[in-house]
Amino acid sequence: MRVSPPPPRTLVAAALALSLAATGCAGEGNGADADGSSLTLGYFPNITHAPALIGVEDGLYEEALGDVDFDTRTFHNGPDAVNALFSGEIDAAFLGPNPAVNGWSQSGGEALHIIAGAAAQGSGLVVRDDIETIDDLPGHTFSTPMLGGTQDVALRWFAREQGWEVDTAGGGDLSIIPQDNPDTVDAFELGEIDGAWIPEPHLSRILAQDDAHLLIDEPDLWEETDGMYVTTLLVVNADYLENNPETVADLLRGHVESVDRIDEAPEEAAETARLHLEDLTGGTLDPEITATAFDNVAFTVDPIVPSLLTQAEQAEAIGLLDPVDLTGIYALDPLNDVLAEAGREPVVGLEG
């Protein structure tokens, strides 16, 4: 007899709960720098984290932070980054919306705050050429970056909308197998999976292979926000923000400059990001693939609040998130102060 898997939300919460247990509770004893003399930033080797790639490679954060001792760490999934944020190993991080919401939920709204947007769009479902229509998807195997992550929720929500059954053990009408993005690219090439709902540049890396095409471009699913949905956010440890508001403001100045540099010189930024990715991964990335990936992502400091609320509702509806009150998850005043210094319009939070 097959044993039923544990409830999905239990699986998603498990890693976070382990971190909370290890640190006592989020927001207490987490090593947040009391005097702001240092700041460690976490990010992923993804094009959707390009503001981090460019900001680190070109020294924009380090310059903005001045005398603050600046360090970085890279991650391949949201829970690892959130756990590091909880434990004080890092002070700020670039995260997908679902890991950010999960971290907020599991810490009772105490561990982190969203302080800016970073990227929108840049994800979709790439499949083999013999999968020609949506109706061809059942019976095939697909990957997402991680259970309960942003792209994982997107695929599971899409399956639910089609009336298909999926579970966390890889069963159901679609077999969904979470794995790290680089492994997904290799698995597609080896024929181990039939497709993936995945972010850039891995989406474009798979599309560059033979026998691959884009079946679902995720912006097409976001009519209510004109195709815009948040992919990457900049979050900060709540204690660090409270203790070091000026340091966080300086971090945001570097972040705004990084996003501006992407907007002003996208080709140069794409090349900078490519070189930084190669340094991080030890591999090579085709310049044309990088340029294509950049074209598929919109970089913005606006956190696109309505889309995060929708993503949280979807995660709750498919059982990957307990009901959560998101009041207080955003702390956008520091960003809006930085934008005001430059004579720019503020971004909008939950309160409108």
pLDDT at 34: 63
pTM of the model: 0.88
pLDDT at 350: 81
Distance of CA 15 to the CA centre of its chain: 17
Same structural domain for residues 209 and 303?
Answer: no
pLDDT tens for each residue of the chain, 352 residues long: 222 333 344 344 434 443 343 333 333 334 456 678 999 999 999 999 999 999 999 999 999 999 999 999 999 888 899 999 999 999 999 999 999 999 999 999 999 999 999 999 999 999 999 999 999 999 999 999 999 989 999 999 999 999 999 999 999 999 999 999 999 999 999 999 999 999 999 999 999 999 999 999 999 999 999 999 999 999 999 999 999 999 999 999 999 999 999 999 999 999 999 999 999 999 899 999 999 999 999 999 999 999 999 999 999 999 999 999 999 999 999 999 999 999 999 999 886 5
Instruction: Look at residue 352 and tell me if it is in a domain.
Output: no
Question: What is the three-class DSSP state of 25?
Answer: strand
pLDDT at 32: 57
Same structural domain for residues 16 and 40?
Answer: yes
Same structural domain for residues 215 and 153?
Answer: yes
Same structural domain for residues 137 and 102?
Answer: no
Instruction: Look at residue 233 and tell me if it is in a domain.
Output: yes
Same structural domain for residues 159 and 14?
Answer: no
Domain ranges, residue 172: 123-225
Contact 335, 253 (CB under 8 A): no
Residue partners of 223: CB distance under 8 A and separation at least 6: none
Residue partners of 166: CB distance under 8 A and separation at least 6: 156, 159, 160, 172, 173, 174, 176
Can you tell me the distance from the alpha carbon of 25 to that of 229, in angstroms, rounded to the nearest whole number? 31
Q: How many Cα neighbours within 13 Å face the side chain of 209?
A: 21
Number of structural domains the chain divides into = 2
pLDDT at 33: 60
